[in-house]
Amino acid sequence: MVAPSKNRSRKSSVIHPDLASVLFTEAEIKRRVRGLAREIKQVYENREFTLIALINGAVMFTADLMRQIDNPVRLDCIRVSSYGTGTKSVGAPQILADLTLDIANRDVLIIDDILDTGKTLALVTELAKKLKPASLRSCVLLDKKARREVPVEADFVGFEIPNKFVVGYGLDFAERYRNLPCIGVLKTKLQQLH
Ligand code: IMP
Ligand code: MG
């Protein structure tokens, strides 16, 4: 194994070649996630609640957020299709893998990476409501308000962002870039599928 050279050891200062710009660095995300955890804690106090993470996108955000929360929590995941492999949502989202936990009479918090047209959050909210939770809230790391098509808002929002296609920290383009520690705008020329 080759030891990293000194000038390459500060990973966050090197922008990924496929990004046009970095919107949020790893440190900025970390700080905001801690802030969101505090906001969530103010609402639930010390009560138990159930997290529903929308996978795959919310995987990293959920993992980091729940480690900042010391309440007893339960975790379930739901898989919803929306983008296929492109950058624009096509048609109505579909549930590909449903919940497994019983959420009746439970306090439930839905977690997603980004609120865009609102179709996904609206669908999952409707589905969860039918299961009669005691309360239902939602938390998204990013909110692209300009793209909203369905009137839905999240109770907790990490950052509002402009109408740009972003990747990193769980967000993908054709399943790539989820592992970037920062969130950045994907170069336009890379937003076409080959
Ligand atoms: P909505 O149903 O249009 O609100 O879409 C929400 C889903 O679309 C999110 O869960 C993301 O998976 C995906 N999405 C929306 N905008 C972006 C983006 O800029 N980059 C990556 N994924 C996105
Ligand atoms: Mg998603």
Alpha-carbon distance of 138 to 140, in angstroms, equals: 7
Long-range contacts of 78-84 (CB under 8 A, 24+ apart): 78/52, 78/53, 78/54, 78/124, 78/127, 79/54, 79/55, 80/54, 80/120, 80/123, 80/124, 82/119, 82/120
Asked whether 184 lines ligand 1 (CB < 6 A), one says no
Q: Tokens for 169?
A: 């920290």
Residue 13's pLDDT band, with cuts at 50, 70 and 90, is: low
Could you tell me which residues come within 8 angstroms of residue 81 by beta carbon, excluding any fewer than 6 positions away? 93, 94, 96
Confidence (pLDDT) at 192: 84
Asked whether 141 lines ligand 1 (CB < 6 A), one says no
CA of 121 to the centre of ligand 2 (A): 10
Nearest CA to ligand 1 atom 22: 171
Specify whether 102 is catalytic. Answer: no
Query: Could you tell me the pTM of the whole model?
Result: 0.92
CA of 89 to the centre of ligand 1 (A): 8
pLDDT at 86 over 80: no
Mean pLDDT (the chain) is 92
pLDDT at 55 over 90: yes
Asked whether 158 lines ligand 1 (CB < 6 A), one says no
Q: Is 139 left (phi over 0), alpha (psi -120 to 50) or beta?
A: beta
Helix (H, G, I), strand (E, B) or coil at 52: strand
CA of 144 to the centre of ligand 1 (A): 9
Provide the pairing of β-strand 94-97 with 73-81.
Answer: antiparallel
